[in-house]
């Protein structure tokens, strides 16, 4: 079978991106909710995020990712008081006073949803999940939440522009084989204090895959489960200045593990800047700021270190956040700063 150049590019890009499982984001520290459903409702407002990532700028058919997420606390504890013990309107979550007076969250529920689409060459991956979490205090300052996610995912392949001989009957190029909606289930645990966060989660826990061998379809695992571990700690350099190192370990079955290391410097609840590293992939620079108690913005730029650095000029990512129903008028998530 003779394939066109477009199909060769499609295969190369899809294998490189799909080997890591779900689409990556350099700003995981800004929205860990995408990785762990246990974060649902962790703050005392409705958290909305909209993100866009343009990967490998300058490379034709390179991945582009779009997402929107929303989660919020629910229940009597949130209605009557602050579920995360903010002591006053506008209290700076970075200050030592806040840390010293922090008390664990009242038991409460959190719900949310996110939708994500990623297009690379002829492949479009779409994911829609609803999430639920339950938060409770284990001690005066230690909180734990457990969450689940459920929804669907699909991988659509546009074969309309594939130029190949003898394609009739080839199951690999069958629209019925490629374009399907499949169930998606995940689970997560999140531990947090005013200084420390630690999370474990798993996604893509169910599903079957039809593998094509010598033109015949055989049934196996459709999607490989993905596992994530996240950790971070806040060090104070002064009353209004802190540094937050964090790390993310990602692993999908039958794929190499990916390690992200991130270092962020935050000033009060106004400005932050940082850098990141992903093994065998990229370095990144990032920065963000909060506009009042409604809006926050962040941007990151990745410098490729993989062999693809010769054919691209880096990756851009921007995230816009909204803090809705922000009755305590805080400027940012206490987990983020």
Mean pLDDT of the chain: 79
Q: What is the DSSP string of 260-276?
A: EEEEEEEETTTEEEEEE
Question: Model confidence over 207-258: pLDDT tens digits?
Answer: 655 555 565 555 555 567 889 999 999 888 887 888 999 999 999 877 788 9
Taking the CA of residue 49 as centre, how many other CA atoms within 13 Å lie in the half-sphere pointing to its CB?
Answer: 29
Helix (H) or strand (E) holding 215: none
What is the dotted CATH code of the domain comprising 23-157+181-206+223-324? Answer: 2.40.160
The pLDDT of residue 129 is above 90: yes
Strands (E), the chain: 46-54, 64-74, 108-120, 123-137, 143-157, 181-192, 196-203, 208-213, 216-221, 226-233, 235-236, 241-252, 258-267, 271-278, 282-291, 295-304, 315-324
Q: How far is CA 141 from CA 38, 110, 315, in A?
A: 18, 19, 39
What's the rounded Cα separation, in Å, for the pair 73 and 39?
A: 10
Question: Model confidence over 247-298: pLDDT tens digits?
Answer: 999 998 777 889 999 999 988 778 899 999 998 888 999 999 988 888 999 9
> Which residue is it, tokens 């958290």?
47
**Residue 78, helix vs strand vs coil:** helix
The residue that leads in pLDDT, 79 or 123, is 123
What's the rounded Cα separation, in Å, for the pair 175 and 141?
A: 53
The pLDDT of residue 10 is above 90: no
The pLDDT of residue 36 is above 50: yes
Of the candidates 335, 331, 330, the residue with the CA atom closest to the CA atom of residue 192: 335
The pLDDT value recorded for residue 76 is 59
The pLDDT of residue 13 is above 90: no
The residue that leads in pLDDT, 205 or 167, is 205
What's the rounded Cα separation, in Å, for the pair 76 and 80?
A: 6
Of the candidates 322, 100, 297, the residue with the CA atom closest to the CA atom of residue 194: 100
Query: Do 130 and 151 contact (CB within 8 A), yes or no?
Result: yes
The pLDDT value recorded for residue 280 is 84
Q: Per-residue pLDDT averaged across 10-31, rounded?
A: 60
The residue that leads in pLDDT, 149 or 10, is 149
The residue that leads in pLDDT, 9 or 60, is 60
Of the candidates 114, 115, 118, the residue with the CA atom closest to the CA atom of residue 24: 118
**Residue 81, helix vs strand vs coil:** coil
Query: Do 142 and 191 contact (CB within 8 A), yes or no?
Result: yes
**Residue 327, helix vs strand vs coil:** coil
Helix (H) or strand (E) holding 17: helix 5-18
- Which residues lie below 8 Å from residue 53, measured CB to CB, with a gap of 6+? 23, 25, 26, 63, 64, 65, 315, 316, 317
What's the rounded Cα separation, in Å, for the pair 56 and 64?
A: 9
Question: Model confidence over 143-198: pLDDT tens digits?
Answer: 999 999 999 988 887 776 666 665 555 555 655 556 678 889 999 999 998 889 99
Start-to-end CA span in the chain (Å):
55
What's the rounded Cα separation, in Å, for the pair 219 and 221?
A: 7
Q: What is the pTM of this model?
A: 0.81
What's the rounded Cα separation, in Å, for the pair 181 and 188?
A: 23
């Amino acid at each position: 079978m003779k394939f066109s150049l477009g199909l060769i590019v499609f295969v190369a890009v899809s294998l490189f991106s799909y080997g890591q499982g779900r689409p990556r984001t350099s700003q995981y520290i800004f929205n860990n909710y995408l990785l762990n459903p246990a974060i649902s409702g962790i703050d005392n407002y409705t958290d909305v995020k909209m993100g866009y990532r343009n990967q490998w700028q300058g490379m034709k058919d390179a991945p582009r990712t779009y997402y929107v997420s929303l989660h919020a606390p629910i229940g009597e504890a949130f209605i009557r008081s602050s579920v995360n013990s903010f002591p006053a309107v506008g209290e700076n979550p970075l200050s030592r006073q806040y840390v010293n007076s922090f008390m664990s969250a009242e038991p409460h529920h959190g719900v949310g949803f996110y939708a994500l689409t990623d297009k690379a060459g002829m492949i479009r991956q779409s994911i829609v999940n609803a999430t639920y979490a339950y938060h409770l205090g284990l001690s005066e300052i230690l909180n734990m939440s457990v969450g689940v996610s459920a929804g669907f995912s699909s991988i659509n392949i546009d074969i309309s522009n594939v130029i190949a001989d003898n394609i009739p009957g080839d199951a690999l190029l069958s629209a019925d084989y490629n374009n399907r909606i499949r169930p998606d289930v995940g689970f997560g645990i999140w531990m947090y204090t005013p200084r420390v966060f630690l999370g474990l989660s798993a996604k893509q826990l169910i599903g079957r895959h039809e593998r094509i061998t010598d033109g015949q379809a055989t049934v196996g695992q459709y999607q490989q489960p993905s596992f994530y571990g996240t950790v971070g700690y806040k060090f104070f350099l002064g009353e209004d200045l802190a540094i937050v190192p964090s790390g993310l370990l990602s692993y999908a079955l039958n794929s190499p593990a990916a390690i992200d290391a991130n270092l962020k410097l935050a000033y009060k609840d106004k400005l932050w800047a940082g850098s990141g590293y992903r093994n065998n992939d990229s370095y990144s620079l990032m920065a963000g700021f909060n506009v009042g108690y409604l809006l926050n913005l962040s941007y990151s730029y990745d410098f490729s270190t993989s062999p693809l650095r010769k054919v691209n000029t880096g990756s851009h990512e921007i995230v816009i956040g909204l803090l809705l129903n922000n009755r305590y008028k805080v400027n940012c998530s206490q987990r983020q700063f």
